[in-house]
Structure 1
Amino acid sequence: MNSDSRERAERFVELHREGCFLLPNAWDVGSARILESAGFPAVATTSAGVAFSLGRPDHDFFAEQAPEDRVDRETMMGRVREIADELTVPVSADLEDGYGEAPETVATTISMTLKAGAAGGNIEDFTGDRARPLYDEALAVDRIRAARAAIDTGGEPFVLVGRTDVLLVDGSLDECVRRANAYLAAGADCAFVPGAADAATIGTLVRELDGPLNVVMGLTGNALSLDDLRALGVRRVTVGGSIARAMYGHLLRAARELADQGTFSYADDQLSQTDLNELFRPGPQRH
């Protein structure tokens, strides 16, 4: 990690010390540059958005997506590196389940992520197997512990996020709290609980967890604002693949209008060529 990357990583660590911040999710360099231009202090990747940009489905249950259809680790690392190389703000990587069950595999994924220039990354406990949708809790903890050991060996600042998908597979809030706290105790710097979207659930998590909480908004319509989440005590807010899905929604509507009607109203709200050229023109700090 060079000095610029290290400085960005140190800034990212500091963002998790106090307060609440919004960490939007990009899927390629262009989307990341636009988010950076809006003034966000950091940008995350979305594995779903990356998969969609490659014409692939997101990591899902194997019954709906064969393992060989999943975006592989090398491809995802390449996209993370492309984004990190082009931004002046820290980048956090969506690493799904670490691209393998074994703790050693997760450790290798973390080492690769550090080399790609990321300042943080998520490791989740979702397996893709309907028979056991979550990794056994003891194994899941060992996977987080292995990730932390890889970070410590690398000797660079890095925010490790332990994600539990308990609520997404209809598990209990008690199990969610237990797993999240176990991941924090094993070395995660922040807990991530997708599916926590109402004030009561989020408030309980903030009170019961022994570390910072990340929640994701944009999975469905939600009345909670960033100010509401800040008041509840949330430390970090991401939006997952929701921006990518919104963009692809517009693309699909445009395609249907062209194919079905032969009209061009989809273009009424496009950004101008000049505006995009200005957004994507390299600045003095970029190469």
Structure 2
Amino acid sequence: MAGSELYERFMALHTRDGGLVMPNAWDGLSALMLADAGFEAIATSSVALAATLGRSDGRHEVTRDEHLEHAGLLGRLTGLPVNGDFEDGYGDTPEDVAWTVEASVESGLAGIGIEDTSGDPGQPIRDFDDAVDRVRSAVDAAKKRIVVTGRTDNFIQGRPDLDDTIRRLTAYAEVGADVLHAPYPPDLDALRAIITAVAPTPVNVLVSPADKVLTVAELQKAGVKRISLGPWLYVHAMGALEQATNALVAGDLASATTGISFERMGELLARSKN
């Protein structure tokens, strides 16, 4: 499917009534399971990908090529639109971000997220003008061939500044970002304020506001157009693994060896061949 067609297909999921739930996969089998469950689009998770490689997220420890290969695999296996959770766009300059967007189009991705993080613990959020320039560069490179999400990480980087968050998201929309995202606003009122300020640009929410996990219906009622899970499905799976590990340490083989059957795994893997 050509980039422009994929763009239109993916954007249509955002603009329809209710929007979409877009879970994040971390390997081939998890992607196939999500596709088999009926989800219409999936995403990568930079946290989960880094963890599978034994690395930390947000510190430039995963390369652009590694993430592109990973995202391309998920798309080839499932045939679904894949949104790449591509941290800060993998580069120091807006030109680097443009190169990442172009490579993502060539890899068949449907969407890409560009954060205003820096990878520098001392100054984790980029200056306003730099952040806006990077989103503008991403949009210019995208040419409506891939959905660009402009994201500010103020809240998760210890900067609980709603006004600055709205200022950044509004600026990203003004330079052409297709979707906007500010993970974990403090509460539903803050989320509604963001949605109102940037309308009609669709807003993505990572699970819920920080104070309470809401239902999909509650988030949709508030005006959210895309709900992503980030690393949380991976964290859930790792929680199950830790429980099984503890059971094994205690000598409980039965509890340590429950889970998906080989037959079910075979069914899911067969899906990738069809």
* TM-score relative to the length of structure 2: 0.92
In the alignment, what sits opposite 2:71?
80
Matches within 5 A, 1:38-53: 38-53=37-52
Q: 1:158 to 1:40 in 2, by over 3 A?
A: same
Say yes or no: does 1:134 pair with 2:125: yes
In the alignment, what sits opposite 1:63?
none
In the alignment, what sits opposite 1:188?
177
Q: 1:197 to 1:221 in 2, by over 3 A?
A: closer
- The aligned length equals 271
Matches within 5 A, 1:1-287: 2-3=1-2, 7-19=5-17, 20-60=19-59, 67=60, 70-152=61-143, 157-171=145-159, 172-196=161-185, 198-210=187-199, 211-217=201-207, 222-258=212-248, 260-267=249-256, 269-282=258-271, 286=274
Could you give the per-residue CA deviations for residues 44-77 of structure 1, whole angstroms, max 9, x where no partner exists? 11111111112222225xxxxxx5xx11111111
1:215 aligns to what SS in structure 2?
Answer: strand
State how far apart, in whole Å, the 2-side matches of 1:188 and 1:277 are: 40
One-letter amino acid matched to 2:162: L
For residue 283 of structure 1, report the CA deviation from its aligned partner: 5.8
Verify the 8 A CA contact 1:81 1:117 in the aligned structure 2.
yes
One-letter amino acid matched to 1:163: R
* TM-score relative to the length of structure 1: 0.88
Q: Which runs of 5+ in 1 are unaligned?
A: 61-66
Q: Give me the identity figure in percent.
A: 34
State how far apart, in whole Å, the 1-side matches of 2:272 and 2:66 are: 27
Tell me the C-alpha RMSD between the 2 structures.
2.0
State how far apart, in whole Å, the 1-side matches of 2:218 and 2:37 are: 21
Q: Which runs of 5+ in 2 are unaligned?
A: none
Say which is worse superposed, 191-200 or 229-238, in terms of deviation: 191-200
